[in-house]
Structure 1
Amino acid sequence: MTPTRRRYLRGVCGASAGGLLALAGCASTGSDGGGPGSDGSDSDGLPGSDGNDTDAGGTRPEGTGGPGVSIVATDGDADFPVRPSVAVTREAATTDHPPQLRTTLTNAGDERVRVGEGRAVHFEYVSDADGALVCLPGDGEYPAEPDCWRLTDAIATTEEYRTFALDPGESSERLVDLYATPGEDACLPVGEYRFETTVSVVADDAEPRSSAAWGFSVVLE
């Protein structure tokens, strides 16, 4: 069984938004203002939402319901034993699903390690620096506007510190979907967004032994 420690998770999620909170597994997330690219959208929030996908200035790929995501930068501590990475698994938003990323952590050392916090290290429930977007576990269902992928309510999670173990050479993968936070003017606002989190190697009682920050930037266009 994965050890947990009941405590408040600082810095796991973005700024909280008012209104009903949907319990999902972390501190509340959301935003009270527009992010980059939130201007210039028409009534449904998506540039080019008049049905002419080819006239969207590159913000709405033809045949999709919203902008596409690409990773433009990643960073981290090359000497840290846990090596993170991120990749795009679903490039564009459609009527059926939002864009999706896969985050991976690999134990590059020669000893077994325990990693925490188990959700934040995979960017689950983590918002970008501007609070415009949030990464949510890809296997969940969330209160979002249909064919828009903007949350109608903020997301709350349980206050616990989760960990998991990695043997030498072993990897852990998670799929996360990109949603716009409540209060955004655009469904999925175009622009560049920066996500950051902290990866900690912890003892069996979940006390951190060493930590390293890592992050990545995406562009929605």
Structure 2
Amino acid sequence: MQRRELLKCVSVGVCGGVAGCTSESGETPTETARTFERHVSVAAVDQASGDPPVRFDVSVSDVAVTSETTAFLSISTTNTDGTDWRIQTPFYKGESEDASEPGVLLYSLDAADHPPRGYEPSCYVDPDPSQESISYTGEGLPTHELAPGETATDEYILVNDPTDAGCFPAGEYHFESSPALYDKNDDWVESVDLSWGFDITIAAAVGSR
């Protein structure tokens, strides 16, 4: 992948840090429903290498994670070519890439097993792991049919990883995906590699430090 752009961090707090690790802005034993708060921002977006016919962009539509709500992200796919294409959703579901560190999970709201929109983080009460593993449903990936210049947007929900200690640990998290591309005859275009990725930053709100 070729990193094409670096986005300015817009969250309250400091960007950066080792992926998935806790810090002074992470969990403390004194956090309560009133004080628990995280802010989520996009740190960087990688575009596929070469000259791909589509472009991906990531934004955070709801930035705050509290005891009553979580953050939502949007990923847009734009056909920058002069040809009609069909493309798989740019990311579907899964954990951040460094699975050896405490992490977070991201689900497309098109996924059959995505948590409800009204998901309420309760991990601040007990940040110890509550599950040994995570099971995902195995349905096929949805696709978008894009005419030249057309954009499709997918919405995602961010949830805590119940297999790791912590509750939305502060840090930077990397997600990767390799969506398949199909031509107008619905043939898979194997010669085009759309592998790409993006980083998000989770930071504790200033008042909770």
| Same fold by TM-score greater than 0.5 | yes
2:86 is equivalent to residue 114 of structure 1? yes
Looking at structure 2, the residues matched to 98 and 126 of structure 1 have their Cα atoms a distance apart, in angstroms, of: 16
Residue ranges of structure 2 left out of the alignment (5+ in a row): 1-18, 204-209
Looking at structure 1, the residues matched to 63 and 28 of structure 2 have their Cα atoms a distance apart, in angstroms, of: 23
Q: Secondary structure at the match of 1:177?
A: strand
- 1:200 is displaced (CA, Å) by 2.7
* Aligned with 1:41 (options 4, 10, 27): 27
2:178 is equivalent to residue 215 of structure 1? no
Which residue identity is paired with 1:88? Answer: V
- 1:115 is displaced (CA, Å) by 0.7
Residue ranges of structure 1 left out of the alignment (5+ in a row): 1-33, 54-64
Looking at structure 2, the residues matched to 197 and 167 of structure 1 have their Cα atoms a distance apart, in angstroms, of: 22
Tell me the TM-score normalized by structure 2. Answer: 0.68
- 1:193 is displaced (CA, Å) by 0.8
- For 1:85, the equivalent position in structure 2 comes to 57
Which residue identity is paired with 2:202? Answer: L
Instruction: Give the alignment of 1:1-221 within 5 angstroms.
Output: 35-37=20-22, 41-43=27-29, 49-50=31-32, 53=35, 65-77=36-48, 79-116=51-88, 118=89, 121=90, 123-131=91-99, 132-138=103-109, 140-141=114-115, 146-148=121-123, 154-203=134-183, 204-205=185-186, 207-209=188-190, 210-221=192-203
RMSD between aligned residues: 3.1
Percent of paired sites with the same residue: 27
Tell me the TM-score normalized by structure 1. Answer: 0.64
8 Å contact 1:94–1:147 — kept in the other structure? no
Q: 1:211 to 1:171 in 2, by over 3 A?
A: same
Q: How many residues align?
A: 169
8 Å contact 1:126–1:135 — kept in the other structure? yes
Looking at structure 1, the residues matched to 143 and 106 of structure 2 have their Cα atoms a distance apart, in angstroms, of: 19
